[in-house]
Amino acid sequence: MKRIGVDVGGTFTDVVGVEKGKIISYKVHSTPDNPATGVGDGLEVFLSSDSEGFEVGHIHHGTTVGTNALLESETAETALITTEGFRDVLEIGRQDRPQLYDLDFSRPSPVIPRSLRFTVPERIGPGGEVVRSLDKAELKKVVESIPDPVEAVAVSTLFSFANPVHEKKIKKYLVNNGFGVTLSSEVLPEPREYERTSTTAINASLKPVFRDYLGQLESRAEDLDLESDWLVMQSNGGLIEPDIAKREPVRTILSGPAGGVEGAQFIAGSAGYEDVLTLDMGGTSADVCLIKDGEASVTTDWSIDDHPVGVSSLDVHTIGAGGGSIAWMDEGGALRVGPGSAGADPGPVCYSRGGEEPTVTDAHLVLGRLDPDFPLADSLELERGAARKAISEKIGAPLDLGPREAAQGILDVANSNMKRALRLVSVQQGHDPRTFALLAYGGAGPLHAARLAKEMSIPRVIIPPAAGVLSSLGLLASDTRQEFVSSVLRNSEAIEPEEIRAEWEEMSKKASPSLTEGKVDHRPYLDIRYSGQSYHLRVPVSKVQLNRSGLDEAIEEFHGVHERKYGHSKTDEPVEVVSQRLEFIGKIDDLSLSGDLSGDGEAYLGDRDVIFSGESEKTKIFRYENLGVGDSVSGPAILHSRDSTIVVHPGQSAELNGDGALIIEV
């Protein structure tokens, strides 16, 4: 039984399968108004193409539905019930200022407005003791006052992570009255009131959205006679069943970028590289992440649109820099690129679908990196004249530049934005980019990677096979993953390892049986901090059967992690264990790729003039799919493939490895 990956991007929806080591991929236009339509279209194209007879057993899906719903405020009408006196936790937040000297900044509106936030008399103490019993009469009044349009209710009461008894009683009453409910003690049973309440509110507001979306996907699959099991990508790089995704959609917010990082780990590992910076540049955004010792960075301290999300996620940093990012002039006459995007509809000017604002893709076309003779995604025709006119009028004229100089300026600004993002996940985290490789993918990533690597002194670039659909390919290389967490919040000296072991055993009983069939890895972690700190660090533990020496080893590791992340540690300071975690990794059959890409035609297609750093260079043009293992290319060169375009700059060289990845020596 085969598996296929489906990833929804801002411009294209990608569908990928692997047959005898060969990647089969198709792109269709995304449908922002209803992403399920684009997914269904992609599946239909895949099944009606050369892949007929490809027996589909599993569909692995990466989606931006949660992200888009939050960013576009299209979540379900949601209410919040919390402890009396804590109605405004979402509004108060951490009281910090995101821009210290910006007097005009404004915070985004809370996920749940004040009019839909309610309180009930009750109180659990920090040790889990019942300080004040739940007032059931007041709860009844609150539930009766919730307006009819509300579809979901988030419940986040004080210290419920220590004792969820009141939250469970509130849930029972709400369910009996027909409401969908999310409890903070189920989604994020951890300290930090604001983050826990925010995560719970986000999850509740997304549940109706995900229920409808996944229902549409399953219905469309039935129409296509696809009797396949669906698995959904989480932000942490693991797959879960649709039922879990419907119950806890907050875990899927960075589903799309996570698939790309998983694919990057797979390709980098196959090529023999453990330390990699990833660059995923698509139509609307660029995502960067750091992989160290073969493992991507993971965080529980992240946010979307300034709303904190406490569940585990790959540490992906996103900026508004994609092929569709719009170039514009600010009030001071400076050239800007993004974060606004032409998206899938109408798209860049050169798509001739109604776009009027010049984009990064238009700039590449004007400079000769893209060519009308090579349609994007095998079908999207490019109109150079329209792109040239838009850049001349909107950018060139205000800056008194010709179209080529203006186009180069657009790319320089876009590259500058991406360099800042790459430095954020590397240099600012204590990592030297010169010891890493840059792995670039997405439809636009390979266009920019070689220039970015040169400017950041990164010695090597890896362009994976099927770079434009790597996020979908990464879905096929991903394992299932379930994470469970419980609060500890005690000094390490006061902890008995037996208590930790017993709690991990209880967590083991919660794992979905269908996701723990076959080979399963158990990965235990402890969240540790110095006493008095507000934030913790996640530290891996060697084995589930924890003893005192194992706990001491984890504390020593914490000191080392703290030193690497913040530049200092205090080995003589007391430490606290905040939470304990247990991950279940259900291993999926290994994915293997064949590097035999050679097609029927010649790889070398001739020469054309391409602009590099303002100068026209005679550049060799290749068809990537017709290269063979060991074939080498000297820059300047352009390699066109079905799903992306690769630029090798003057003075650089590239060679195709055994898995079909192009290794560029900078």
pLDDT tens sequence across 620-658: 999 998 998 899 999 899 999 988 899 999 999 999 998
- The two three-digit tokens of residue 458, written as one number: 């990164």
User: Is the separation of the CB atoms in 267 and 478 below 8 Å?
Assistant: no
Which region holds residue 573: left if phi is over 0, alpha if psi is between -120 and 50, else beta? beta
Give the 3-state secondary structure of 543-554.
CCCCCHHHHHHH
Asked if the model's pLDDT at residue 158 lies above 70, the reply is yes
* Within-domain flag for 59: no
* Residues with Cβ within 8 Å of residue 96, at least 6 apart in sequence: none
Distance, CA of 610 to CA of 616 (rounded, Å)? 5
527 is in which domain, residue-wise?
480-586
In a domain, 86, yes or no: yes
- How far is it, in rounded angstroms, from Cα 29 to Cα 38? 7
Are 467 and 644 within 8 A, CB to CB?
yes
Domain membership flag for residue 150: yes
Residue 486: name the closest of 551, 582, 584 by CA: 582
In a domain? residue 638: no
State how far the Cα of 367 lies from the Cα of 364, in Å rounded to an integer. Answer: 5
Neighbours of 332 (CB within 10 A): 6
Q: Would you mind telling me the total number of residues written for the chain in this entry?
A: 666
501 and 385 co-located in one domain: no
Judge whether 334 and 413 are in contact, CB under 8 Å.
Answer: no
Same domain, yes or no, for 565 and 487?
yes
Beta bridge partners of 307: 304
Which of 412, 441, 459 terminates a domain? The answer is 412
Mean pLDDT along residues 314-342: 91
Q: In terms of domains, do 579 and 491 share one?
A: yes
Q: How confident is the model at residue 587 (pLDDT cuts 50, 70, 90)?
A: confident
What 3-state class would DSSP assign to 430? Answer: coil
Q: Which two tokens stand for residue 382?
A: 């490019």
pLDDT score, position 392: 96
The CATH number assigned to the domain holding 515 equals: 3.30.1490
Element housing 486 (H / E): strand 480-491
- Among 361, 381, 412, the domain boundary falls at 412
Domain closes at, from 553, 586, 619:
586
For residues 92 and 202, membership in a common domain is answered with yes
Residues 82 and 184 placed together within one structural domain of the fold: yes
Which phi and psi (to 5°) does residue 28 adopt?
-130, 160
- pLDDT value for 53: 60
The stretch 14-20 carries a mean pLDDT of: 86
pLDDT at 234: 96
Nearest to 51 by CA among 5, 10, 7, 99: 5
Q: Which residues of 387-398 are buried (b: 16+ CB within 10 A; e: fewer)?
A: bbbbbbebbbee
Together in a domain, 493 and 574: yes
Lowest average pLDDT, out of 346-355, 358-367, 393-402, goes to 346-355
Single-letter amino acid code for the residue at 93:
G
Q: Looking at the structure, tell me whether residues 103 and 198 fall in a common domain.
A: yes
Tokens of 464: 């994976």
- Which of 247, 205, 234, 248 lies closest to 110, judged by CA? 205
Residues 6 or more apart in contact with residue 440 via CB below 8 angstroms: 278, 279, 280, 281, 446, 448, 449, 452, 461, 462, 463, 467
Q: Which two tokens stand for residue 108?
A: 């985004």
Question: Beta strand 317-319 with 286-292: parallel, antiparallel or unpaired?
Answer: antiparallel
> Could you tell me if 83 and 202 lie in one domain?
yes
Residue (of 587, 665, 661) closest to 630 by Cα position: 661
Residues 402 and 485 occupy one common structural domain: no
The single-letter DSSP state of residue 393 is I
Q: Is 345 within a domain?
A: yes
The 10s digit of each residue's pLDDT in 388-440 is: 999 999 999 999 999 999 999 999 999 999 999 999 999 988 899 999 999 99
The answer on pLDDT for 597 being more than 70 is no
Residues 578 and 525: their CA atoms lie apart, in Å, by: 11
Query: Residue 98: is its pLDDT beyond 80?
Result: no
Which residues does 659 contact at the CB level (< 8 Å), separation at least 6? 267, 270, 271, 465, 593, 594, 595
Residue 639 lies in a domain: no
Cα→Cα distances 556→494, 553, 573, 593, 613, Å: 17, 5, 12, 40, 50
Please tell me the total count of domains within the chain. Answer: 3
pLDDT, residue 287, reads 92
Other C-beta atoms within 10 Å of 87: how many?
16
> Is the CB of residue 475 less than 8 Å from the CB of residue 441?
no
In a domain, 465, yes or no: no
Split at pLDDT 50, 70, 90, the class of 51 is low
Residues 402 and 484 in one domain: no
399 and 499 inside one domain: no
Separation of alpha carbons 364 and 640, rounded Å: 13
Is the distance from CB of 427 to CB of 265 less than 8 angstroms? Answer: no
pLDDT (0 to 100) of residue 50: 57
Q: Where are the beta strands (DSSP E) in 226-379?
A: 229-233, 239-240, 276-281, 286-292, 295-296, 298-299, 302-304, 307-309, 313-314, 317-319, 325-329, 335-341
Q: What is the pLDDT of residues 397-410, one digit of tens each?
A: 999 999 999 999 99
**pLDDT computed for residue 266 by the predictor:** 93
Q: What pLDDT shows up at residue 269?
A: 93
Confidence of residue 445 (pLDDT cuts 50, 70, 90): very high
What pLDDT was estimated at residue 312?
94
Distance of CA 320 to the CA centre of its chain: 14
Confidence of residue 377 (pLDDT cuts 50, 70, 90): low
Residue 665 has pLDDT above 60, yes or no: yes
Please report which confidence band the pLDDT of residue 164 belongs to, taking 50, 70 and 90 as the band edges: very high
Residue 87 lies in a domain: yes
Average pLDDT over residues 487-514: 90
Residues 498 and 384 in one domain: no
**Confidence at 368, pLDDT banded by 50, 70, 90:** very high
